Structure 1
Amino acid sequence: MYDDARGRRQTAGTFATEKEAVAAWHAAEAEIAKGGLGDRRRGRQTFQTYVEKKWLPHQVLEATTRQDYTYKINKHLMGFFGPMRMCDILPEHVREWITEMQRKGASAATIQKCKRGILNSIFTTALNDQVISQHPSRGVRIPPVPKKPKKAITAKQFDGLYRALPDADSRLLVETIIESGLRWGEVAELRVKDLDFATRVLTVSRTVVELNPQFHPTQGRFLVKPYPKGKEYRRFKLSPQIVRKLKAHAVTRGLGEGDLFFTYLPVDQPKPRKLRPVPVPGAHGMTTANERGKSYDHGSLTAYTTGKCRCEYCKEAYRLYRGQRRATGKDNPRSPRVRQSDGHIPADWFRKQIWTPACKTAGLDHVTPHHLRHAHASWLLAGGADLQVVKERLGHASIATTEQHLHTLPNADETALAALEKIRGPQINEAPETSELDALKAENERLRAAFADVALALRPESRPHLSTA
């Protein structure tokens, strides 16, 4: 036996003689004294044990990051690395995992997030904790991830989207994003006290994130962080017209200094009933024979329950049957699902109920509320705003991120094309294209042939009746 670094009594193993046992605990305590591996058994714990009991519980992570890492570890890593001992994991195993992920159809971006963000962090911590003696994922290459250009909608597209929004509150929310460039979590947490109506200065000092209750400190749904992304406050001015609208909105709603500008107030709207087929038993044929060789009439209750047919006629017959039972009080209808909210707008509710229908009406595909932030940056830069000013308004950590919004609008290259036209214009106008020359030559040859035919027809020998006269 020996005492580890925390004074806990540990075993160095079982030996045949007392001399070997004494040498073993002397060696173990000597390793601790010089800062070496105090307990070599630590490397024999499995990847799953280390991650679930040591790494995840004690790693300093944002709540959203912890939630995302937990989902990705369980989905992409545990199945491969989970049963392996930490000391047995080698770089070749990491390369095998990458090949396995590609075989399953995982994207290069997913592989990059799992390897660089999670695996590297796990193995770096294990190396620092002296659980392993080498870093298995260091130097292992991953598939390249193409860098996609930023997407920004035009002012005309935004106008169409704005008109398609269903109510004044959603229009004001969307216009606030396009006027300020706020992230969704920042605009969802925007409160009256954050905007100085006199100076039109907006202070961004908080953001809200939506979590699974098991990752929330108090098992709630929304967590307000006392700092925005980048952990740095920012202040900037808004236009007079959006400030007037926000002030009028606050006065109309009777909002106090600490109240949210935009709150979750779901309206129970009846869903439009879709046309359903009429379930007339015997009028739609018979179902496919079941394992006992029996068939039933489509549109009958027996076909749904015993025949297990799920065609539209059989489902409608069962729906009507259940509706009749509920109408007579025999079955209790399921209570509608209620979203947990403390007043903050759920992002997926806004996307499904407000944003997506408006985008369909406006004819916009694959556009998210975050694209309004991109449009804000692109419009400022296209209008001549200073790059550093735009960086500070958006809260970017690097100016290189802001530069990605340059030339994202469809007409961004018009000045370059105009410059090219200015230089090449005279030469282009003076020399016709090859296809035009060929057309002119063909037309010239056709005219010459026509003139030759006319001249041949006018010769006297070609008109014998005239020569005889």
Structure 2
Amino acid sequence: MAGYIEDRWLKKRPNKETGKRERTALWGKSTRYRVKGIPGVRDRSFDTVADAKAWLAETQTDARRGEFIDVRDGVISLREYVEKHWWPSQVHPAQTLESMRYRIWGQVLPHLGDLALRDIGVAELRKWSADVQRTVASNTAYVAWVYLKAVMQAAVEDKRLYRNPCKGNTSIRPPKKPERKARSWGQDRVDGARVALSERYRIALDLGVGCGLRQGEVFGFSPRDVHGDYLHVERQILTYKSRLYFGPPKGGKERDVPLPTAVAKRLLTHQERFKPIDVTLPWLDPEEPDLLRENRRTVTIPLLVYTGRGGAINRTTWNTKAWKPALAAVGVIQPLPKRQPGEKPSRVWEPSREHGFHILRHIVSA
């Protein structure tokens, strides 16, 4: 069986004259016994021959089964493992990578990054979970937990850990996924929200309710996407690192959706009032998330929904200045407090994630 123990303090062969093994230059200067010769396993040194024999026997068995884990590989810090080994291997759309980076570098590494992988146990995870849940929203904490668990699982599969400490420990209270049951709006609320939107943005609600388009797909919609009684959805407007891009629909999947007659009529009416405007943006290819903006190919699309200045719409700005006021107008959220003399106007709306633009797709489903 492969593997043997080397005595580093004594030479292998005895002196021919005395019959005794002579001391080496390492006598008393290093650990004495080194286990060597196991394929795929780094050498390891021990002070006593008993420890060396025990480790040799255990390692030979694990190596034969393909289950050997070198605990020394777990000495690497979580931060170093993430930055040098885990993160470079992640292949996702640019927006997903941006979200992952925000959660991992924002909620995970500041708390656990300096710890060695093998030192992250139940106690450390309990404290991390409690600290994070006190400082960020429940959904943010939950997503951070999901990513942390994925990182630790990768470390297990990389043979740096025996097991994932995020799994199977009942004493850890991980962040819970918020329960949000999407409730379809009634027609009165839909009509009220439409009226509350400015005239140029009402068609956005029509496309959301009537055709089930996502918000980014509405902002990236062009009249040339109309093909008789259906729409071909082939692009959306994305925000990546605070800049706008054209990109493929969610999941990279183009699709055709029915175009109801009522929506088709409203599209024609809208175009009479707001002519489509050509907008040029870089194309965000999911397969090249790190490509610099200036090196990306540009695409020019005649957009139907655009800002008052004739530009593509930033969803964050639109949600704050158009969608949230419409929600307040129909009683979904509280209106902003009235500004007192000398005060700056507030733009901090109450959270309304469950009533985001996506709610319109549930109206279609209903």
- The TM-score bracket by the shorter chain reads 0.5 to 0.7
Decide whether the 8 Å contact of 1:201 with 1:238 is kept in 2.
Answer: yes
Report whether the alignment pairs 1:372 with 2:340.
Answer: no
Pick aligned residue for 1:113 from 143, 146, 156? 143
Letter in 2 for 1:166: S
**2:282 aligned partner:** none
Write the distance in 2 (CA, Å) between the matches of 1:74 and 1:177.
34
2:193 aligned partner: 161
CA distance in 2, matches of 1:47, 1:129: 13
**Contact preservation (8 Å) 2:230, 2:256:** yes
Counterparts of 1:230 and 1:149, CA distance in 2 = 23
Deviation at 1:246, TM superposition (A): 2.1
1:83 and 2:104 equivalent?
no
Q: Secondary structure at the match of 1:253?
A: coil
Q: CA deviation at 1:191?
A: 2.3
Q: What CA distance in whole angstroms lies between the structure 2 residues aligned with 1:369 and 1:122? A: 32
Which segments of 5 or more consecutive residues in structure 1 lack a partner in the other structure? 1-14, 214-220, 268-342, 379-469
Q: Tell me, yes or no, if the aligned pair for 1:186 and 1:206 is still in contact at 8 Å.
A: yes
Partner of residue 70 from structure 1, selected from 101, 116, 130: 101
Q: How does 1:313-462 map to 2 (within 5 A)?
A: 343-365=311-333, 366=352, 367-378=355-366
Aligned structure 1 segments of 4 or more residues deviating by more than 6 angstroms: 17-22, 32-39
In the superposition, relative to structure 1, how do residues 92 and 241 fare at CA in structure 2: closer, same or farther (>3 Å)?
A: same
How far residue 173 of structure 1 moved from its aligned partner, in angstroms, is 1.7
**Within 5 Å, which residues of 2 pair with 1:24-423?**
26-27=37-38, 30=41, 41-102=72-133, 104=134, 106=136, 108-115=138-145, 117-141=146-170, 142=174, 144-145=176-177, 147-167=179-199, 169-196=200-227, 199-212=228-241, 221-226=243-248, 228-250=249-271, 253=275, 258-266=301-309, 343-365=311-333, 366=352, 367-378=355-366
| 1:112-165 deviation line (CA, Å, top 9, x unaligned) | 3222x2012101211122222221111235355452321332111222222222
Give the strand-richer structure, 1 or 2.
2
Q: Aligned partners of 1:29 and 1:21: how far apart in 2?
A: 22
Cα pair distance change 1:348/1:41, threshold 3 Å: same
Change (3 A) 1:243 1:211: same
In 1, the alpha carbon distance for the partners of 2:73 and 2:320 equals 48
1:23 deviation in Å? 5.5
- Residue pair 2:104, 2:148 contacting (<8 A) in 1 also: no
- The number of residues matched between the two structures is 276
Partner Cα distance (2:196, 2:222) in 1: 26
Q: Which runs of 5+ in 2 are unaligned?
A: 1-24, 44-62, 279-299, 334-351
**Which residue in the other structure is 1:270 paired with?**
none
Return the alpha-carbon distance in structure 1 between the equivalents of residues 102 and 165 of structure 2.
22
CA apart distance, 1:201: 0.8
1:212, 1:48 → 2: CA distance? 22
Query: Is the helix fraction higher in 1 or 2?
Result: 1
Larger Rg: 1
> Which string of whole-angstrom CA distances, capped at 9 and with x for unpartnered residues, describes residues 292-351 of structure 1?
xxxxxxxxxxxxxxxxxxxxxxxxxxxxxxxxxxxxxxxxxxxxxxxxxxx421012212
Percent identity over paired residues: 24
TM-score by length of 1: 0.51
Q: Any idea what SS the aligned residue of 1:259 has?
A: strand
Call closer, same or farther: CA 1:39–1:233 in 2, change over 3 Å: same
Secondary structure of the corresponding residue to residue 203 of structure 1: strand
Which residue matches 1:16?
A: 26
* Matched-pair contact (CA < 8 Å) for 1:28–1:39: no
Q: CA separation of 1:143/1:350 partners in 2, compared to 1, >3 Å: closer, same or farther?
A: closer
